[in-house]
Chain A
Amino acid sequence: MTTTEPAPDAKKVANQVFANYVDGHSARLHRVSLNLDIPGRALILTPAQGDPIVWSLPDIRELPDQASKVTFVCTLKDEPAARLVITDGSVAAELRRRCFNRNQTKTTFDGPLIAKWAVGAVASVLLIILVLIPSMANQLAKLLPPEGERALGDATFEQIRSALGHGNFQVRTCDNKAGLTALTKMEATLSADLELPYPVSLRVLHNSLVNAFALPGGYVVMFDGLISAAATPEEVAAVLAHEIGHVAARDPTRIALRSAGSIGVLGLLFGDFAGGFVVLGVANTMIEASYSQAAETAADSFAHERLKSAGVRPDALAEMFQTMRKLGGDAQGIQAYFSSHPATDARITAAREASAGMTASSEPILTASEWADLQNICKR
């Protein structure tokens, strides 16, 4: 930049251009005339009274995200409370060209402070979700009266039926008499002499998912798809024994109480960004999947014991796992099932080991005709 450079806009600056100036100490608005000192790289602000103020062009900073596309609102690097507001379009354009550092932002670095609180926030959330809430839930689950658990189970069961249904129609519960009789006999054999907090309530849902689950209050729910996929009644019995294990340990109640606490905390973290509700659901599923591993292993061991005392070889569970895995290729529910039931190989091995040296009882868990009844449980 040289002094001989013709600058038509600068001429206009020389032609008595005015702007509004505030010093950052008082709300008094000063009308100042502007002069550009090109060799000195400075903008000179001359108020009606008092000494001219010199702003060095490289030190001028424009305020970001301003609504007016014309007005140039700027401040000075070392005087961050002062403001100069220039409404004349051509002068504003000229200054935007000459104040080459105008977009430089002062980096107020909160890094260490943010890091400190981020660690604190993560630690407190982890502590609450992974330690405090689970241990409270475990204690409270023991104190919850059976009627309360039953109410929790009723509510959840209806929600699941609606979620799997179409539109306003809930998914159908199968109530073929002969089929239910067979299933009840199987359950009675498996939970003989067992002290459960409440009786097991068996439900079969008319759905092709190859899955089963337990709910608070003694609900054991199976999908028709699982019964159809099973090759023998023993495979169904193995799954049933596993779910009774969850009932005996009151796992569903603990999980329900846990999620009541953890969903609130997760909602806090993700807020409402772009439908955070979905993110929330995913995150909660991940947490549940991770903390149900220990519960799954315990329910498996429980199933091995119950199957043995009922005269069924525990490797029926292994067979069922392999059936599920084979079907896993195209059925949707399977991936979901396995995500919360990890390390299937280990579970298959465990079931086979539990059967070592055992011979199955000569009396099958269901007779051939009872097995046929069970397979037709959803026929009307």
Chain B
Amino acid sequence: MSFSSFQTRFSGQKDALFGLAFRTSLLTLLTVGFYRFWMKTRMRRYLWSAIEPGGTPLEYTGRGSEKLLGFLIAVVFLAFYIGVVNLILMFVSFTVLNGPGGGYLLSFVGLIPMYFFARYRARRYILARTRWRGIRFGLEPGAWGYAWRAMIHWLVSIASLGLLWPRMTFWLEKYRTDRTWFGDQNFVQGGKWTMLYRPYLQAILPIYVSAAVIAAISFAANGITMAPILFLSIPWALVGFVHYRVQSFRILAENKSLGGVSFEPLPRSARVLGIYVGGYLMVGLVSSLALTAMAIVLGALAGVFGATSFDFIALANGNLLPYWFVAAFGALTYFAVFILYGALNQTFVTLPLIGHYAETLAVHGAENLTAISQRERDEATEAGGFAEALDVGAAI
């Protein structure tokens, strides 16, 4: 390894992140949702600062108040769009199709361009608020261009029965990367879209193979249950999909450059899969333990109030405990489960995933970084508000 290469360190801790997620979710609940903008800000600050390429942590400089503002701006536009468009679609659906299905479908389709638009805008905001070595990242405007390109790529991918999917992955990534800047230096996505086919085989093969097997069997003998085939092919397809996600990220990142700086990411599909499986197991386990604890507390309280047997119907009818108490306890449990689930998810899935991607990233040609200068601040006034309002990009 040359003198001017460095590795990335990751300093995120599960307990610290869980504490932060839990405290901020509680505040979000107590403020009927308003604190969520600050919660998101603080979670990002923590996660960004945990990633230390060459020992210098990334930094997130977004603010909660600007997110609230962006959300309000998005609401003004989207309330009109969603309210009026939904109403008209529902009317058309009942007039023409005599059922609600068409209306739901159409209103969903109508939101698809907004989804891509919002994703791009949210990315622009996040990059504009990310710094490393004091230098800002940035993304050029281009959300509508992204939205229509994404729509066409999706149509082509579907029409080709998935065969042209890697083409979409590559060209959309290239669109985003070629508009991404670090200081006054812009990123360039190199390579060809066909380089993604190798990992893509793992994702598409299970689907094609099981479709062929099912078709062959139903041709040969009618009435045989297909359940065992799906039992094998669905997990296989999921594994293949994760593999494609991880390895396409790796190949695309290997082919990116920033001036003379290049990247060597080595994420492992097995590790990522392990994080998903282990992480969700932990989330499920801890959540159900917490629920059991709540049920035991409620049972004990019912015992204190003189109940001899624990009967949920008697409980719901207010025969064991005062009705208001059961209702309040139920509401408390309901919200506690949501808060806990969100915090656990961040702790056992998001954090280890980011950690793995960070720790397997090496940067080469770092001597070229010294030539990079600061860029102007991008106000990005709407601050990911459309994404927030439409609930996309909710992962981090």
Binding site for B on A (CB under 8 A): 20, 22-29, 63-69, 71, 73, 81-83, 85, 87, 108, 110, 113-114, 117-118, 120-121, 124-125, 128-129, 132-133, 136-137, 140, 143-145, 147-152, 155, 257-258, 260-265, 267-276, 278-279
Chain B residue, CB-CB nearest to A152: B94
User: Knowing A155-B99, A260-B90 touch, does A265 contact B372 (C-beta < 8 A)?
Assistant: no
- Give chain B residues whose Cβ lies under 8 Å from the Cβ of A22: 56, 133-135
In the complex, the answer to whether A261 meets B94 with C-beta atoms within 8 Å is: no
A264 with B83, Cβ < 8 A, contacts A67-B12, A83-B133, A273-B28 known:
yes
Grouping DSSP codes into helix (H, G, I), strand (E, B) and loop, the A interface class, with mixed when no group exceeds half, is: helix
B103 at the interface (CB under 8 A from A): yes
Return 24 A-B CB contacts under 8 Å, by A number.
A23-B134, A26-B374, A27-B371, A65-B42, A67-B17, A71-B57, A83-B133, A83-B134, A87-B55, A117-B72, A121-B73, A133-B84, A136-B84, A143-B95, A257-B90, A260-B87, A261-B83, A264-B82, A268-B78, A270-B33, A271-B391, A272-B391, A272-B394, A276-B33
Q: Are B12 and A261 in contact (CB under 8 A)?
A: no
Q: Which residue of B lies closest to A267 (CB)?
A: B82
7 new A-B contacts at CB < 8 Å, known A28-B370, A85-B57, A140-B91: A69-B16, A85-B56, A121-B79, A133-B83, A140-B88, A148-B95, A261-B90
* Complex CA–CA separation, A150 to B133 (angstroms): 65
Determine if A121 and B72 form an interchain contact, defined as CB atoms under 8 angstroms apart.
Answer: yes
A66 pairs with B389, CB closer than 8 A: no
Write out the residue numbers on chain B whose beta carbons fall within 8 Å of the beta carbon of A73: 49, 57, 59
For A25, what are the chain B residues with a Cβ–Cβ distance below 8 Å?
Answer: 134, 373-374
B29 x A274 contact (CB < 8 A): yes
Q: How far is the CB of B349 from chain A (nearest CB, A)?
A: 17
Bound Cα distance from A149 to B183, whole angstroms:
59
| Contact residues in A for B13 (Cβ distance below 8 Å) | 67, 69
Q: Are A128 and B12 in contact (CB under 8 A)?
A: no
Which single residue of chain B is at the shortest CB-CB distance from A330? B318
6 pairs of A and B residues whose beta carbons are closest in the complex: A67-B50, A261-B87, A148-B94, A260-B90, A273-B33, A65-B45
Q: Which residues of B contact A26 (CB under 8 A)?
A: 135, 370, 372-374
Give the complex CA separation of A71 and B52 in angstroms. Answer: 11
Interface pair B49/A65, CB less than 8 Å apart:
yes
With a cutoff of 8 Å between Cβ atoms, the chain A residues found around residue B49 in the complex are 63, 65-68, 73
From B62-70, B146-154, B188-196, B285-293, give the one contacting chain A: B62-70
